[in-house]
A = this chain, B = another copy of it.
Amino acid sequence: MNGAESLVHTLIACGIDTVFANPGTSEMHFVAALDRIPGINCVLCLDETVASGAADGYWRVTGRPAATLFHCGPGLANGLANLHNARRARSGILNIVGDQATYHRPLDAPLTADTEGWARPVSGFVRTAKSAATVGRDAAEAIAAARSGTIATLILPADTAWTEGGVAGETCEVPARAMPDDEAIASAVEVLRSGEPAMLLLGGRTLRDATLRQATAIAAATGCKLLSEMFNARMERGQGRPPIERIPYFIDAAIHTLSGIKHLILVEAKPPVGFFAYPGKPGRLWPEDCTLHTLAAIDQDGSAALTALAQAIEGAEPEIPATPRPAPSTGAIEPETVATTIAALLPDQAIVIDEGISFGRGFSRFTHGAAPHLWLQVPGGAIGGGLPTAVGAAVSAPGRRVVAIQADGSAMYSIAALWTAARQNLDITVILLANRKYAILLHEFVGVGANPGPTALGMLDLGNPDLNFVKLAEGMGVAAAQAPTMARLNELLASSVEHKGPFLIELLTG
């Protein structure tokens, strides 16, 4: 057994079943081992940003890590932006980065780069394998790190793969997440009973049905407000589930939403701050006279904390108001009409990937009446996360429909994801919001206090020439059509969610 074979055996033994791959020469022995030893689903991605985003999507749906396979430092570099998003989503991923043989690295061949240096800022675990004999154990430790919800990067010099003497690693234990602190719960009880305006800010794994019910019970019993973070990795939403709003993106609205709050209780949430700084505006979103309390830190079990808190408060679980499922909208193409149509036509247990940026920003408030679904955002803010996350989500959950709400500018960062969707015949419907501009930047530009002239428009406008997403999709084997009206959107969305395989709807929103 060579090192590569020991690595494949370790992956299988430790529960890795999927690799999103774009291999190169230095990974050929590993590819050969994957070929010989059955048990891993290898999904080819046309570049690494698709692979890393797909692994993020896989984790967010399943809570289990997938692996990526990258080629040397530059291959890893191509995947970094979506690894940044995955880190902010607190997703676990195992990166396997093939690299120069240990003895070849000092010769500085062209593809030699600082692979570890590039990996470190996004990885909770980085290791370069030293030998074929130890790579199995390295992988087992890396997988344990990934299973705990961090990015683990294992660099695999070619000779540690091809040399004989590999030993499969054994599963390492993953420590359970820390339980809530009794004092933190007691302190939250005191705050909530004080009668002062309080808010629970929920993040991380608390945005699931059962936990949201606990939070809603606490809110009903104490009058505190409930809010979730601005961008969330995963929210369970839809009919029968407690609706929860998010911190708004725009700075003034965000500050307004938190105004008057005297106690902000964080539950797997970070202290809320502006997405960017703006001249003369505060960076922290909570009022100056508001006290922060941590019920559960981001690496603790916030759901257990909320359960304990609900018991202490003696909050009875409130009835969730029935939100009627709307009919598809037939008005003009506006954010509200499009969101209403999505709410109307979303299949049960769908997975929504939201990289809707400007046009899609308000969709969530019109979709509480949809069938129960998952809603995944791009928590790191690096654009281009949407389509790759959709690929990973669809690979992880056969039989569920993925609906990707996708802005046009961001789509072009990782458009090659469509090809993988076609090859794997993934059940993804892309609603491509084609406004043909970087609308968010035009908004920000005006905020700077000027009307854009030709130079600025040349950097903020996506027209001239217009992108034709139908042709782009068809060029990668994905069926597609344009929707110039709501009627056509309704027709295409209804039909696409009924049919196996991917479909792209280019919605002209401009």
Binding site for B on A (CB under 8 A): 21, 23-26, 28-29, 31-32, 34-36, 38, 40, 42, 44, 46-47, 49, 72-75, 77-78, 80-81, 84-85, 88, 100-101, 103-104, 107-111, 113-114, 117-118, 120-122, 158-159, 162, 230-231, 270-271, 273-277, 279, 283-284, 379-382, 384, 409, 412-413, 415-416, 419, 422-423, 440-441, 444-445, 447-450, 452-456, 458-460, 464-472, 474-477
CA distance A80 to B81 in the complex (A): 11
State whether B35 touches A273 (Cβ < 8 A).
no
State whether A121 touches B110 (Cβ < 8 A).
no
The 9 closest A-B pairs by CB, nearest first: A465-B477, A471-B475, A74-B382, A114-B121, A77-B80, A104-B277, A101-B277, A472-B475, A35-B456
Q: Which of A42, A44, A110, A111 has the most CB of B within 10 A?
A: A110
State whether A31 touches B277 (Cβ < 8 A).
no
Chain B residues in 8 Å Cβ range of A38: 455
What's the nearest-Cβ distance from chain B to residue A500, in Å?
Answer: 15
Chain B residues in 8 Å Cβ range of A455: 31, 34-35, 38, 40, 42
State whether B477 touches A26 (Cβ < 8 A).
no
CA distance A273 to B100 in the complex (A): 12
Knowing A84-B113, A109-B276, A384-B47 are in contact, say whether A474-B476 is a contact too (CB < 8 A): no
What's the nearest-Cβ distance from chain B to residue A10, in Å?
Answer: 17
> Nearest B residue to A449 by beta-carbon distance?
B32
State whether B81 touches A445 (Cβ < 8 A).
no
CA distance A277 to B109 in the complex (A): 9
What's the nearest-Cβ distance from chain B to residue A353, in Å?
Answer: 17
Chain B residues in 8 Å Cβ range of A412: 46-47, 416, 419
CA distance A419 to B472 in the complex (A): 12
What's the nearest-Cβ distance from chain B to residue A416, in Å?
Answer: 5
Specify which of B275, B422, B445, B469 is in contact with A110 (CB 8 Å cutoff). B275
Q: Which of A23, A35, A470, A472 has the most CB of B within 10 A?
A: A35
State whether A109 touches B275 (Cβ < 8 A).
yes
CA distance A118 to B116 in the complex (A): 11
CA distance A275 to B24 in the complex (A): 12
CA distance A111 to B231 in the complex (A): 12
CA distance A272 to B78 in the complex (A): 27
What's the nearest-Cβ distance from chain B to residue A234, in Å?
Answer: 16
Knowing A109-B273, A379-B110, A459-B44 are in contact, say whether A423-B464 is a contact too (CB < 8 A): yes
State whether B107 touches A276 (Cβ < 8 A).
no
Chain B residues in 8 Å Cβ range of A465: 419, 422-423, 476-477
Chain B residues in 8 Å Cβ range of A120: 114, 117
What's the nearest-Cβ distance from chain B to residue A508, in Å?
Answer: 15
CA distance A453 to B26 in the complex (A): 19
State whether B279 touches A162 (Cβ < 8 A).
yes
Knowing A47-B384, A158-B277 are in contact, say whether A88-B110 is a contact too (CB < 8 A): yes
Q: Which of A38, A72, A465 has the most CB of B within 10 A?
A: A465
Knowing A74-B84, A110-B381 are in contact, say whether A441-B28 is a contact too (CB < 8 A): yes
State whether A78 touches B49 (Cβ < 8 A).
yes
CA distance A158 to B274 in the complex (A): 13
Chain B residues in 8 Å Cβ range of A471: 471-472, 474-475
Q: Which of A78, A279, A445 has the most CB of B within 10 A?
A: A78
Specify which of B36, B118, B379, B474 is in contact with A118 (CB 8 Å cutoff). B118
Chain B residues in 8 Å Cβ range of A475: 467-472, 475
> Nearest B residue to A463 by beta-carbon distance?
B423
State whether A110 touches B413 (Cβ < 8 A).
no
State whether A77 touches B81 (Cβ < 8 A).
yes
CA distance A121 to B284 in the complex (A): 33
Q: Which of A101, A456, A474 has the most CB of B within 10 A?
A: A456
Q: Which of A117, A158, A276 has the most CB of B within 10 A?
A: A276
> Nearest B residue to A413 by beta-carbon distance?
B47
| 16 A–B contacts from the bound complex (CB under 8 Å) | A25-B275, A28-B444, A31-B456, A32-B445, A46-B412, A107-B271, A110-B275, A110-B380, A117-B120, A118-B118, A118-B121, A412-B416, A423-B465, A467-B477, A471-B471, A475-B475
What's the nearest-Cβ distance from chain B to residue A25, in Å?
Answer: 5
What's the nearest-Cβ distance from chain B to residue A236, in Å?
Answer: 22
State whether A231 touches B110 (Cβ < 8 A).
yes
What's the nearest-Cβ distance from chain B to residue A164, in Å?
Answer: 10
CA distance A315 to B415 in the complex (A): 56
Chain B residues in 8 Å Cβ range of A26: 276
Chain B residues in 8 Å Cβ range of A440: 25
Chain B residues in 8 Å Cβ range of A101: 276-277, 283
